[in-house]
Amino acid sequence: MKRTIKTLTAASVVAAIVGAGVVYFGVFNVGADDPHSQAVHSLLSTARDRSIEVRSRDIEVPDLTDEALIRAGAGNYNAMCIGCHLAPELAQTELSKSLYPAPPNLSKLGVDGNPAAAFWIIKHGIKSTGMPAWGKSMSDPYIWGMVAFLQQLPGMDAQEYRALAASSGGHQHGGGESMMHNHEGQHDGQEEATSSHHHDAGGAEELAEADVHHGDTIGAHAHGDVTPSRDDGVEHAHPDGVGASHDAPATSAAQPKTHTHADGKEHTHAQ
């Protein structure tokens, strides 16, 4: 008995030292372009599935067939999710092909047969995957809107998808109390300060025109060493072959060095 205890103690000390060595010597590659081994992958996905199952089993699912709910969800999905989760006729984006784990194509997967789990995931996000916790900025009715919309999405073609998103009033998720119409101006201060997307209903018109509207998170960008001058639009081709032209981002390099203050004093910055 004494011997067994000694052996077990020695084994756990060795295991702890090996574990610390793996961490200290950087053996584990955290690069997103280096997939997990089969064993690590199974462990992580089982932990994920069980965690979500346990936490979402008591969530009550509301009526998800309400048209206004689905419509509001379409606008929000189109504004915030397609960069990662795609849409009919949008097979790939820079984000969708580069993230690890890869975001599932929700235009095909929908709610994956479990609306309560989808609601939980959208609200709380998933650690270390890139899936954000949208509950930090959106209230529950708006999240249910996206779940309701996702339930319909796999049955939609590109035209139906665009028409629904365009008719939705775009991105909206203010107080989310009871009404699902445009909540312009009801975002809380933090969201207002950090957001880089449109809040206005004008987004809907833009959507109607855009061939494929990109998530606003990836709206304006340039690649490589290109430093666009202030007036230039930036043209680039997307993986789906759709050429797009965006306004050049106002990079610091493009800011004028000299400006005039309200009191009339002129001021020059070294860049």
**Which positions touch ligand HEC (CB under 6 A)?**
48, 77, 80-81, 83-85, 95, 99, 101, 103-104, 109, 112, 118, 121-122, 126, 129-132, 134, 146
The residue (of 36 and 228) whose beta carbon lies closer to ligand HEC is 36
Q: What minimum distance in Å lies between the beta carbon of 171 and ligand HEC?
A: 10
Which residue type sits at 37?
A: S
Rounded to a whole number of angstroms, the minimum distance from the CB of residue 116 to ligand HEC is 11
User: For residues 210 and 254, which CB has a smaller minimum distance to ligand HEC in the complex?
Assistant: 210
Region at 112 (left for phi over 0; alpha for psi -120 to 50; beta for the rest): left
Among residues 70 and 121, whose Cβ is nearest to ligand HEC? 121
- To ligand HEC, the closest distance from the beta carbon of 45 in angstroms equals 7
Nearest approach in angstroms of CB 35 to ligand HEC is 12
- Residue closer to ligand HEC by CB (options 143, 204) is 143
Those residues whose C-beta lies under 8 Å from the C-beta of residue 42, and which sit 6 or more positions away, are: none
- Least CB distance from residue 103 to ligand HEC, whole Å? 4
Nearer CB in complex with ligand HEC: 80/165: 80
Q: In whole angstroms, how close is the CB of 81 to ligand HEC at the nearest point? A: 3
Question: Which of residues 87 and 131 has its CB atom nearest to ligand HEC in the complex?
Answer: 131
Among 176, 145, 177, smallest CA distance to 81 is for: 145
**What sign for the dihedral angle of Cα 85, 88, 93, 98?**
positive
**Gap between the Cα atoms of 232 and 258, Å rounded:** 20
CA gap 199, 74 in Å, rounded:
15
Q: How far apart are CA 106 and CA 80, in angstroms?
A: 13
Q: Is the peptide bond before 88 cis (omega within 30 degrees of 0)?
A: no
CA distance 23 to 227: 39
Q: Which is nearer to ligand HEC, 129 or 195 (CB)?
A: 129
Q: How far apart are CA 68 and CA 49, in angstroms?
A: 31
**CB distance 154 to 110 below 8 Å:** yes
Work out how close the CB of 209 gets to ligand HEC at its nearest, in angstroms, rounded to a whole number.
22
Contact 134, 125 (CB under 8 A): yes
